[in-house]
Amino acid sequence: MSYHNIITLEPGKRGGKPCIRGLRMTVYDVLDSLAAGMTMEQILEDFDYLTRDDILACLAYAADRERHQWGIKPIRNDDDLRAAFLRLEPIFQAQEGTPEADERDVLVTLIEAYEQKHYVISSADPIEAIKFRMEQQGLTPKDLEPFIGGSGRVSEVLNHKRPLSLRMIKRLHEGLHIPYESLLAGGGR
């Protein structure tokens, strides 16, 4: 049974706990009643606004949470990384508030931490950042003159013969929206 249209998560309702159809009845209220020995019929009798599908959705939600809760483990090597990517692929577009979305968020965090530790990416060359922006926007060296100076200066900068000045960096950032981090990285070489 799919519980996604029955179980809702709203931050302002019942502390963000999973509720049934936006009501104030939580999944845990139903599970607690079942755990206390109540039958489905008794729950439906006590809470006449609930349906059989609501109770089944609570059980499906709980089973799904349990199934996904223990499937995540640390990423210690590239094989673990590949396995994490394989698991991430089918849940990447998961609807927010679902167990799959929670699992996706945790996997993304683990993957990012592993990659930052084991796959260090060096700072980009500021000139390459400028050339990349030129390519994106279909610009020519002549289009850079308002930001860098005359054609000779543009040529010197693009050929690594002249470093970017702070004034050039500011103009390139403001005019072409190239991030400061990219323009200041690597000292211009």
CATH code of residue 42: 1.10.10.10
**Beta-carbon neighbour count of residue 97 at 10 Å?**
16
Instruction: Give yes or no: residues 14 and 51 share one domain.
Output: yes
Instruction: Give yes or no: residues 34 and 7 share one domain.
Output: yes
Instruction: State the helix-helix crossing angle for 126-137 and 166-176, rounded to 10 degrees.
Output: 30
Strand-pair partners of 20 = 7
User: What's residue 188's pLDDT?
Assistant: 43
d(CA 115, CA 108): 10
Among 49, 70, 91, the domain-final residue is 70
Encode pLDDT of 82-111 as tens digits: 988 888 888 888 888 877 788 889 999 999
The helices-and-strands tally (H runs, E runs) of the chain is: 10, 2
The DSSP 8-state label assigned to residue 124 in this structure reads: P
Instruction: Give yes or no: residues 139 and 172 share one domain.
Output: yes
The candidate with the shortest Cα–Cα distance to 178, out of 135, 140, 142, 149, is 135
Instruction: Give yes or no: residues 170 and 145 share one domain.
Output: yes
d(CA 130, CA 162): 14
Instruction: Give yes or no: residues 113 and 167 share one domain.
Output: no
Instruction: Give yes or no: residues 66 and 78 share one domain.
Output: no
User: What's residue 189's pLDDT?
Assistant: 43
Instruction: Give yes or no: residues 40 and 85 share one domain.
Output: no
In this prediction, residues 133-159 reach a mean pLDDT of 95
Instruction: Give yes or no: residues 133 and 183 share one domain.
Output: yes
Instruction: Give yes or no: residues 105 and 168 share one domain.
Output: no
Instruction: Give yes or no: residues 65 and 78 share one domain.
Output: no
In terms of residue numbers, what domain contains 151? 126-188
Q: What total of structural domains would you count in the chain? A: 3
In this prediction, residues 140-150 reach a mean pLDDT of 96
What pTM value is reported for the model?
A: 0.42
